[in-house]
Structure 1
Amino acid sequence: MNELAHTLIGHATPSSSPLELSFLRELSQEVRWVKAAYQACRYTEAAGRLPRVLRHLGQEPTALEEETRRLWLQVRADAYHVTASVLLKCDERGLAWLAADRSHQAAQATQDPVLVGSSIRVYVRALMRERHYRTAADLAVNAAEQLEPSTSLSSTASAVSVYGSLMLIGAVAAARQEDRTRALSLLDEAEQTARRLGGDHNHRWTAFGPTNVLLHRVSTAVELGDAGQAVHQARQIDTTRVAPVEREVVLHLDTARAYTQWGKLREAHEALTTAERLAPEELKERPMVHRLVDELRTRSTGHLKRDFVHLADRVGVV
């Protein structure tokens, strides 16, 4: 993570390799690999490969042809997007803001509404991490409204997916603001959008579709304090339909949070250990998870306390 931080703030030695079109295509494939690693919860691998990518993308292309420059901007937007996502997982909020801003600037320069909308998703998450929930919800909804005309074109899968994912993250932001009406309205809009898409897909790395809407209904219920409803909804989800590991792990973490709210600590432990089996790094790297495990360790007694102590040791809770 230190090398990634140094690269972001400009202390790393810039690469001298020329940014020709063929090499940019190689970097594009590398960014796709990093995004896949992120969705598989392999955050250490992702963070380890990003500095090289970012150093190369810090240069202007040697050729000024439109195709080369456009690809450079697209790869920059995607690379800084996934960089911000990794940093947010690790609660590196200042660095995440920097990466999110660079992603958005590159996306805006392409004038591609889908890429712009996609880059705003990580901006919204950064705002939420700073507890600016109303601003985050407003930004998500405004970005979706600007993208909406693109969802009616002949080739719409990516636009529809980004539009729907903006509605979902806006719903969670509204729930954290305790705006139940707005949160449920955005979820309903996302559900209608998922029907238009016609299934679960991963266009523009959104993992958007009917199943992801259900996952966000669980997240939103937890944020609104509806623990029983969250658990009920989680039980309705067919986890074999949840493609990215990161999304399934978040489901189990949300379920653990719901059980904690409900006072069912044994069930919370089971949900956490399921998440740990799927993706140990998700529990080791996320400060939010550490706080939850610490709370459960403090609240539990007897054999259950011992189990939480062991879990805390495994994931590195101090």
Structure 2
Amino acid sequence: MSLAKLPVGQRIKHYRRKNGNRTQVAIAGLCGITERYLQLIEAGKKIPSPDVLARIAAELGVPLSALLAEEPMEETSAPLTAAPEVARALMGYGLSISADPASPAHLRERVEAVWSSWQSSKERFSEAAQVLPDLIADVEHAVRVHRRGTDARVRREVLRIAADLYGLLRSYCRRAGRLDLSLMVADRAIRAAEDADDPVRMAAAQWNLGHVLLSHQEAAAVEEAKDIAVRAIEDLGHVPPTKETAAMAGALELVAVVSDANRRRWWDARDRLERRAVPLAKKVGEGANVQWTAFGPMNVHMHAMSIEMLAGEASEGLRLADKIDTSVLSSRERQFTFGLELARCYDLRREDAAALVHLLDLEDLAPEDLARSPLARRMILDLQKRVRPTFRRQVTDLAGRLQLL
């Protein structure tokens, strides 16, 4: 029988087994119902209330519509918001440029500036879209010219600049809903870093590729992200240890941690975080931001909370969140991710007022990120369906501002 023809109870059973093969007792406990009640629901002998059904859907990691609709629906995805000019520049259709390339120093200054904006600005997508097309064209032109040049030092620096730019483009394209372009620029970053013979940037490029694969829904891609991270960590072990190599190894460990968590291997994720990421974070210290990874003790604490959120352990996630001060982070993106996962913990507990407060805070912190986040969009739409009349206007207004209505 196709999924589209299954009754609600059998759909719940299907997703419970598909998404981690979790037991009835575990799902029931997290949803605040008895195991017996869930057994009766799956057997079609009880019809869950809308609130209970919403809790079950959230714990199974599927939209409510997947349990109710006549046809299965995919979870809300990020809108495609990559600027067409950026995509055209990456495809080689940018404006014509002069034969003389910009100097490495000038290109380095521009790449550093756009990275600074990307990590700190509330309007980072809009600002990046304005400067990236010309920057892509100029950097790639410089790479082509200096590949044929005789100055090895300049050639290597231009390749490093290209690797750094592609790292930013990976994040931009992924969050703008263009995983195809994100994968392409991640591959370009690897090639540039290898040609520059720069071990730290090679590790950063693999870290970027890992994040692209983590964005895919397929379990094989998520598992491959961990394999790539582990191999990159091994490669770093063959170069002299520095604070930079420790930071990149730590960032790669977090890719492996997220891979385990996304595949519902909670204990593996917790163990790897504690045994491998925590010691590296202590060695690196706070505020290093090597290769714009924001790796350090605070980032590791945030990943510990993230594991609990993904595992449905909302209370433990909130306990860990109380120990986190995101003001020490240089990355607004990481601050946004923390706030989003905090809102999700309250959402799992059906503390709608608290979830709404944090979503509104995120709108102030990073409105463009909020509009592009599939998780935020789904939470807001679910809130709109179940929130008490006292808060319905605020939720509806937020949904309207994000063009979800």
Q: TM-score range by the shorter chain?
A: over 0.9
Kindly indicate whether the alpha-carbon contact (under 8 Å) linking 2:94 and 2:134 is maintained by their aligned counterparts in 1: no
Map residues 136-175 of structure 1 onto 2, 5 A cutoff.
136-150=225-239, 152-153=240-241, 156-175=242-261
- For residue 160 of structure 2, what is the aligned residue in structure 1? 74
- For residue 33 of structure 1, what is the aligned residue in structure 2? 113
Q: CA deviation at 1:265?
A: 1.4
- For residue 61 of structure 1, what is the aligned residue in structure 2? 145
Q: CA deviation at 1:193?
A: 0.4
2-structure distance, mates of 1:262, 1:86 = 32
Indicate the SS of the match to 1:317.
Answer: coil
Structure 1 unaligned spans of 5+: none
Structure 2 unaligned spans of 5+: 1-82
Amino acid at match of 1:27: L
User: TM-score, normalized by length of structure 2?
Assistant: 0.74
238, 251, 265: which one aligns with 2:338? 251
Amino acid at match of 2:207: R
Instruction: State whether structure 2 residue 85 is matched by structure 1 residue 3.
Output: yes
- Identical residues among aligned pairs (%): 28
Q: CA deviation at 1:288?
A: 3.6
Amino acid at match of 1:158: E
Map residues 188-227 of structure 1 onto 2, 5 A cutoff.
188=274, 189-227=276-314
2-structure distance, mates of 1:122, 1:65 = 29
Amino acid at match of 1:303: T
Which structure dedicates a bigger proportion of its chain to helix?
1
2-structure distance, mates of 1:108, 1:295 = 46
Q: CA deviation at 1:305?
A: 2.1
Q: CA deviation at 1:17?
A: 4.5
User: TM-score, normalized by length of structure 1?
Assistant: 0.93
Instruction: State whether structure 2 residue 98 is matched by structure 1 residue 16.
Output: yes
2-structure distance, mates of 1:116, 1:311 = 41
Instruction: State whether structure 2 residue 192 is matched by structure 1 residue 106.
Output: yes
2-structure distance, mates of 1:9, 1:290 = 30
Q: CA deviation at 1:136?
A: 1.1
1-structure distance, mates of 2:197, 2:381 = 46
Q: CA deviation at 1:201?
A: 1.9
Question: What are the Cα deviations for residues 211-236 of structure 1, in whole angstroms up to 9, with x where unaligned?
Answer: 11111112222122221111111111
- The 4+ residue runs of structure 1 with deviation greater than 4 A are none
Query: CA distance change for structure 1 residues 2 and 288 in 2, over 3 Å: closer, same or farther?
Result: farther
Indicate the SS of the match to 1:175.
Answer: helix
2-structure distance, mates of 1:54, 1:198 = 33
Query: CA distance change for structure 1 residues 12 and 288 in 2, over 3 Å: closer, same or farther?
Result: farther
Instruction: State whether structure 2 residue 176 is matched by structure 1 residue 90.
Output: yes
2-structure distance, mates of 1:161, 1:236 = 22
248, 265, 271: which one aligns with 1:185? 271
Indicate the SS of the match to 2:145.
Answer: coil
Task: Answer with 1 or 2: which has the greater Rg.
Answer: 2
- For residue 51 of structure 1, what is the aligned residue in structure 2? 133
Kindly indicate whether the alpha-carbon contact (under 8 Å) linking 2:203 and 2:236 is maintained by their aligned counterparts in 1: yes
Q: CA deviation at 1:45?
A: 0.6
Amino acid at match of 1:258: C
- Aligned length in residues: 313
Kindly indicate whether the alpha-carbon contact (under 8 Å) linking 1:24 and 1:71 is maintained by their aligned counterparts in 2: yes
The two structures, once aligned, show a CA RMSD in angstroms of 1.7
